[in-house]
Copies of this chain bind each other. A is one copy, B any other.
Amino acid sequence: MVDHSVGKNVNQVVDSGKAIPDTPGFELPLLLFGAFRTLIDRLHARLAEEGHPDLRPAHGFAMQAIGTGGATASEVGRRLGVSKQAAGKTVDRLLALGYAERTDDPHDARRKLVRLTPRGRAALHRSAELFDELRAEWSAALGPDRVRDLEHALRTVVPRETAFRLDAGTWLSGA
């Protein structure tokens, strides 16, 4: 696997004002993704233990998009950056798993409001708690300041809207 043997973190050498390349750039995305993945994997491992074995990362994002107040499939789609059809399918999945329910909107016969079930709300709430715990673990391992700085750094470098897009599956593969 690559074996460019980035190895022991070759430290940068600043020579005469000119920086010698330290870490190859391709490590950055790998680390970012690895970190993301680690967090999500651990979250779902815990959730699975606690009675949500069928919940997948994508579902968490979708539930987040539905929110406590409920939303229509189209809205969910817009929030997640996918088509309303795709959002509809995800909602179907959530329905089947018992995390959401669909109700008619009395004010607009076209719309069907998707709401989280108590189980859905519980899972969402628990996820938030677990993420806090996970962050606390990182704080313990790295020191609170470094975690904060990491967040701050990332926040300045990633465009605000980018975070929540959830066409992730397709985005990685191809469409």
Contact = CB atoms under 8 A, between A and B. Distances in A.
Interface of A: 1-3, 9, 12, 19, 21-41, 43, 54, 56-59, 64-65, 67, 79, 93, 127-128, 130-136, 138, 141-142, 144, 146-159, 162-165, 168-174
A173 B28 contact: no
Nearest to A38: B158
B169 A28 contact: no
Number of copies: 2
Main secondary structure, interface of A, reads helix
B156 A141 contact: yes
A175 to B, nearest CB: 9
Contacts of A164: 1-2, 30
